[in-house]
C-alpha cells in the first residue's frame, strides 16, 4: 500500500484533544490542540461536557487537515485514545444524558464500599468477595471512588432517573467511537476499570455474571467487547464531513491514554518501562504475567497489544501541580497579579528551578492536590509545602514542586519494580513534563535511574494510537513501528545528590504516614 495513506489520530486529554496526522508507517505530518473546559465540584465531582469534546475534536481535525493539505481520501484510518476511567451515560440514540464523569471524580466512593464490603474485611474488602474479584479481573473496585464502576454506581444512587434512561455506559474513548461510527463497543482494555470482566484468557475477555451481580450493574447497560486493534466500522457520512475526511476511512477501536502512552513511548517490549508526566503521572510497563498488589492498588490488566498485560498505576497530580502553582498562587487573577503575558511561564519555571539548589533549601512539596490513587489509595490526602522558613524564596518553592512530583514517582517506582520483579536501569520519559530538561534531570537524580527523554514527548499518546491503527489495518507491527520513536536526550543520575534525595524521600513518606489521620479528619466530608 502507498506510504501516502494516512491515519487521523485523536488523543482526548483532560485539558482538551490533540489531533494529529500520521502516515501508515508512523511518520507524523502535523498536529494541533484545542482546549476544553473542566468543571470541578465541591463534593469531589469532576465533569466535562461531551459536546465540548466533539466540538474541539472536529475543530482540531479540520485545522490539521487544512494545515497539512493532504487529500481527504488519503485518510484510511481513524483511532482514538482518551482519558481513562470516565463515564458517559447515553440513550439508545447515542445522546449523552448528563455531563461525562471523569477520572478525577470521587463521588462514587460510598457506593463502592457498599458493593465490596462485608462482615469480615481485608483492607476494607469483604473476604468472601475479594478472592473472586482478584482471580477473574486482577483487581477490585478502588475505594477512592474514581473507577468507572464507581461513577455508574453514583449515577444509579444519586440520579436514578438518568440510570433508568441509560442505554449504555461508555468510557470516553468508546463514546468518541460511537460518534465516529454509530456503533456501541468497548475494548478489552478500556472496560477493565469496571471490574466486571474475566480477563484470565486474553483471547476472550468477557463479562462475568457473578461479577455483574456483585457490582449491581445490568449487563445490557454495558457495551459489547472487542480487541483494541479490531476495526469497529467506517466513519459515518456526518462524522466524516465534520472531520474533513471521507466515509471510506475505517475506525480502529483504540485504547485508553495509559495504554497508548506505553506504545507511543516506544516501550512495547515486556518489562520496558516508561514514565509519563502530564496532568497526572504514571510509571508503566508490559508484563508477561497476571498479578495484583492490593496494598498498593496495582494490577496487571489487559494491554492494547493483543494477549499482553500492562501494569496499571497512576498518581493523580503531577503537571497539574505546576498549573496550580501558576494559576492559584503566582498569577492568580486578582489585584496582585501583573498585567503580563504568562504564556512562557513554564520555560521560566525551568530556568528558576535549574538555578535553585538541589533539595530546594530543605522544602518538601507533597503533590497530592486531588487525593491519590497509587501507591496509596486515599481520596482525603492533600498536598502542601513542608519545612518553610523565613529564608525560603520563590526559587525554592518552584523547584520543590518539580522535586515533589519526582519524589512521588520514586515512591511509585519502588512498588512497580517490586511488582515487575526487576530494577529498571532506564526509563523512557514522555508527556508535557518531559519537555523540561531540568525536570528530566531531577527525575534521574531522585529516581537514581537513567531517564531517556522521548522526542516530541507530548505526542506520545497520538503517536501510540496511530501505531495501534496501523497495526489494526495491517500496515505494520508494534515492534517495527516502535523503532520510529526516537530519543532526544539521555539523563544520567547525579550521584552527588544521592544522599540528599534518599533523606528527602524517607521524610516524604513519613509526612504521609504521620499526617494521614489529619487529612482524613479535615477532608472527610469533601470527597
Say what percent of the chain tops pLDDT 70: 97
CA atoms of 401 and 366, how far apart (whole Å): 8
- Residue 3, pLDDT > 60, answer no
Q: Cell 513519613 identifies what position?
A: 510
CA atoms of 34 and 57, how far apart (whole Å): 7
Torsional sign, CA 325, 327, 331, 335: negative
Query: Is beta strand 450-454 parallel, antiparallel or unpaired with respect to 426-430?
Result: parallel
Strand locations in 156-314 (E): 168-170, 186-187, 197-198, 206-207, 225-226, 231-234, 250-256, 274-277, 281-284, 286-287, 292-293, 298-302, 309-312
* Measured distance between the N- and C-terminal CA atoms of the chain, rounded to whole angstroms: 53
Residue 136: Cβ-neighbour burial (10 angstroms; 0-12, 13-18, 19+): middle
Taking CA 316 as the corner, what is the angle to CA 264 and CA 309, rounded to the nearest 5 degrees? Answer: 45
- Position 370 scores a pLDDT of 86
Mean of the per-residue pLDDT values of the chain: 93
Q: How many CA atoms lie within 13 A of 365 on its CB side?
A: 24
CA atoms of 243 and 155, how far apart (whole Å): 32
- Residue 11, pLDDT > 70, answer yes
Q: Bridge-partner residues for 489, per DSSP?
A: 453
- Position 332 scores a pLDDT of 60
Contacts of 507 (CB under 8 A, 6+ apart): 364
- Position 337 scores a pLDDT of 53
Q: Please name each of the domains of the chain with its CATH number.
A: 319-456+490-523 (3.30.420.40)
Could you tell me the pLDDT band of residue 323, with boundaries at 50, 70 and 90? confident
CB atoms near residue 176 (< 10 Å): 27
Of 85, 28, 36, which is closest to residue 314 (Cα–Cα)?
85
Identify whether 187 is preceded by a cis peptide bond (ω within 30 of 0).
no
Q: Give per-residue pLDDT as tens, 478-488.
A: 999 999 999 99
Q: How many CA atoms lie within 13 A of 340 on its CB side?
A: 8
Q: Give per-residue pLDDT as tens, 19-59.
A: 999 999 999 999 999 999 999 998 899 999 999 999 999 99
Of 71, 85, 75, 452, which is closest to residue 297 (Cα–Cα)?
85
- Rounded to an integer, the average pLDDT of 195-216 is 96
- Rounded to an integer, the average pLDDT of 375-391 is 91
Q: Give per-residue pLDDT as tens, 328-354.
A: 777 766 444 554 456 688 888 899 999
CA atoms of 349 and 439, how far apart (whole Å): 10
Least confident of 3-12, 156-165, 242-251: 3-12
Burial call 188-214: b when 16+ CB within 10 Å, e when fewer: bbbbbbbbbbbbeebeebebbeebbeb
Helices (H), 16-145: 50-68, 109-116, 130-137
CA atoms of 378 and 518, how far apart (whole Å): 12
- Residue 145, pLDDT > 70, answer yes
Q: Cell 515486556 identifies what position?
A: 270
Q: Give per-residue pLDDT as tens, 454-505.
A: 999 999 999 999 999 999 999 999 999 999 999 999 999 999 999 999 999 9
Say what percent of the chain tops pLDDT 90: 80
Q: Are 47 and 41 in contact (CB under 8 A)?
A: yes
Could you tell me the pLDDT band of residue 156, with boundaries at 50, 70 and 90? very high
- Per-residue DSSP letter, 20: E
pTM of the model: 0.87
CA atoms of 36 and 512, how far apart (whole Å): 33
Could you tell me the pLDDT band of residue 317, with boundaries at 50, 70 and 90? confident
Could you tell me the pLDDT band of residue 275, with boundaries at 50, 70 and 90? very high
Conformational region of residue 243, where left means phi above 0, alpha means psi within -120 to 50, and beta covers everything else: alpha
Amino acid at each position: 500500500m502507498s506510504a501516502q495513506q494516512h491515519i487521523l489520530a485523536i488523543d482526548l486529554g483532560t485539558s482538551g484533544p490533540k489531533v494529529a496526522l500520521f502516515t501508515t508507517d508512523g511518520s507524523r505530518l502535523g498536529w494541533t490542540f484545542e482546549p476544553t473546559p473542566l468543571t470541578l465540584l465541591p463534593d469531589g465531582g469532576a465533569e466535562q461536557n461531551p459536546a465540548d469534546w466533539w466540538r474541539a475534536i472536529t475543530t482540531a481535525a479540520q485545522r490539521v487537515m487544512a494545515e497539512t493539505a493532504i487529500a481527504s481520501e488519503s485518510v484510511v484510518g481513524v483511532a482514538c485514545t482518551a482519558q481513562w476511567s470516565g463515564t458517559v451515560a447515553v440513550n439508545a440514540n447515542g445522546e449523552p444524558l448528563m455531563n461525562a464523569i471523569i477520572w478525577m471524580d470521587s463521588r462514587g466512593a460510598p457506593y463502592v464500599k457498599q458493593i465490596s464490603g462485608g462482615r469480615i474485611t481485608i483492607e476494607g474488602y469483604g473476604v468472601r468477595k475479594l478472592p473472586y474479584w482478584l482471580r477473574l479481573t486482577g483487581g477490585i473496585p478502588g475505594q477512592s471512588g474514581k473507577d468507572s464502576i464507581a461513577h455508574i454506581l453514583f449515577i444509579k444512587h444519586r440520579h436514578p432517573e438518568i440510570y433508568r434512561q441509560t442505554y449504555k455506559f461508555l468510557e470516553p474513548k468508546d463514546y468518541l467511537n460511537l460518534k465516529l461510527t454509530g456503533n456501541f463497543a468497548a475494548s478489552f482494555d478500556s472496560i477493565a476499570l469496571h471490574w466486571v470482566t474475566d480477563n484470565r484468557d486474553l483471547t476472550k475477555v468477557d463479562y462475568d455474571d457473578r461479577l455483574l451481580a456483585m457490582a449491581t450493574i445490568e449487563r445490557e447497560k454495558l457495551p459489547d467487547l472487542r480487541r483494541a486493534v479490531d476495526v469497529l466500522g467506517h466513519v459515518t457520512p456526518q462524522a466524516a464531513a465534520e472531520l474533513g475526511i471521507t466515509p471510506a476511512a475505517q475506525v480502529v477501536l483504540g485504547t485508553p491514554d495509559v495504554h497508548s502512552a506505553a506504545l507511543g513511548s516506544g516501550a512495547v517490549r515486556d518489562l520496558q518501562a516508561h514514565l509519563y508526566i502530564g496532568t497526572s503521572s504514571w510509571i508503566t510497563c508490559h508484563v508477561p504475567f497476571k498479578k495484583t498488589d492490593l496494598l498498593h492498588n496495582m494490577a496487571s490488566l489487559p494491554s492494547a497489544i493483543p494477549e499482553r498485560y500492562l501494569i496499571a498505576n497512576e498518581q493523580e497530580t503531577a503537571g497539574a501541580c505546576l498549573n496550580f502553582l501558576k494559576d492559584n498562587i503566582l498569577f492568580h487573577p486578582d489585584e496582585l497579579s501583573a498585567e503580563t503575558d504568562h504564556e512562557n511561564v513554564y520555560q521560566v519555571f525551568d530556568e528558576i528551578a535549574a538555578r535553585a539548589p538541589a533539595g530546594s533549601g530543605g522544602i518538601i512539596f507533597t503533590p497530592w492536590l486531588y487525593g491519590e490513587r497509587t501507591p496509596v489509595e486515599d481520596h482525603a490526602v492533600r498536598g502542601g509545602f513542608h519545612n518553610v522558613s523565613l529564608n525560603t524564596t520563590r526559587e525554592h518553592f518552584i523547584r520543590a514542586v518539580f522535586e515533589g512530583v519526582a519524589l512521588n514517582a520514586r515512591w511509585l517506582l519502588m512498588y512497580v519494580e517490586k511488582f515487575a520483579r526487576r530494577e529498571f536501569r532506564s526509563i523512557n520519559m514522555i508527556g508535557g513534563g518531559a519537555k523540561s530538561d531540568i525536570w528530566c534531570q531531577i527525575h534521574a537524580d531522585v529516581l537514581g535511574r537513567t531517564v531517556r527523554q522521548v522526542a516530541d514527548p507530548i505526542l506520545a499518546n497520538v503517536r501510540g494510537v496511530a501505531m495501534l491503527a496501523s497495526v489494526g489495518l495491517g500496515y505494520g507491527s508494534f515492534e517495527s513501528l516502535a523503532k520510529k520513536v526516537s530519543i532526544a536526550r539521555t539523563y544520567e543520575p547525579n550521584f552527588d545528590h544521592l544522599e540528599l534525595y534518599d533523606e528527602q524521600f524517607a521524610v516524604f513518606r513519613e509526612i504521609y504516614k504521620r499526617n494521614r489521620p489529619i487529612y482524613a479528619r479535615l477532608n472527610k466530608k469533601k470527597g
